[in-house]
Amino acid sequence: MNVTSISFPYGEAIQWFSPQNSHNLPNMPLRDWLLDENSLTTKLRNHCQKFDVTVLGEHLHAPLEGECEQSSTSMWIREVLLSLDGTPWVFARTLIPQAILDNPLYTFATLGTRPLGELLFNSNEIRPGNIEVAQFETCGKLASLALSLEQPVTDTLWGRRRYFELADEQIIVSEIFLPAAMQDIIKHA
């Protein structure tokens, strides 16, 4: 996989909505992938022989406009690709407040290629919040990233976003299903 971290961060501003208020959710099984309350890592692992995390970049960075309430302060931005049997399926972008990063009880800053979900879903202190979804067109950095993965974006993409509460801080995790994932999920509908 020929991916460069020169363009990090790849994330784009996305308009998320609550699935409860939406009548235009996709059909199953894509809807199940979007709304599964459990760890996406676990679901992906169960869908392949070999699961990999490729870190595109991790750095203190200002969030995107409107991405979170503290958009003026830097947060730890982690962007990864989650691959199934060598094929990138998910682009994930996570925002971690500095206060959590500095907490010696957690190793978010040194995760490397360990999936974030192994931390988020294995701590009684971390509470997963509600899931939001988005269907969007991209012609920006995300589209360029997909093209560099030999997955040209020819249709809208679907993604989900979730807040994870820790003490009085929030970790924001967004996951975008890349074209290869969409094709496979829809093929097996």
Ligand X SMILES: C=C(O[C@@H]1C=C(C(=O)O)C=C[C@H]1O)C(=O)O
CB of 75 to ligand X, least distance (A): 14
Among 117, 131, 149, 157, binds ligand X (CB under 6 A): 117
Cross-strand pairs, 14? none
List the one residue from 41, 83, 151, 170 that touches ligand X (CB under 6 A): 41
Q: Are 173 and 167 in contact (CB under 8 A)?
A: no
| Bond prior to 179 in cis (omega within 30° of 0) | no
Nearest to 60 by CA among 109, 5, 126, 107: 109
Among 14, 34, 92, 180, binds ligand X (CB under 6 A): 92
What b/e sequence results for 94-121 when a residue is b if at least 16 CB atoms lie within 10 Å of its CB, and e otherwise? bbbbeebeebeebebeebeeebbbebbb
Provide long-range contacts, Cβ within 8 A and 24+ apart, for 46-49: 47/84, 48/84, 48/85, 49/85
Minimum CB separation of residue 135 from ligand X in Å reads 18
Q: Check binding of 70 to ligand X (CB under 6 A).
A: no
Residue 149 interacts with ligand X (CB under 6 A): yes or no: no
C-alpha 60, offset from chain centre: 17
Nearer to ligand X, 82 or 145 (CB): 82
Residue 31 token pair: 């809807």
Residue 56 interacts with ligand X (CB under 6 A)?
Answer: no
Choose, by CB under 6 A, the member of 5, 7, 39, 70 that binds ligand X.
39
Residue span binding ligand X (CB under 6 A) among the ranges 6-14, 74-82, 100-108, 140-148 = 74-82
Query: Binding site for substrate: what residues are annotated?
Result: 78, 116, 175
Residues forming contacts to ligand X in the complex (CB under 6 A) are 39-41, 53, 78, 80, 82, 90, 92, 94, 115-117, 120, 173, 175
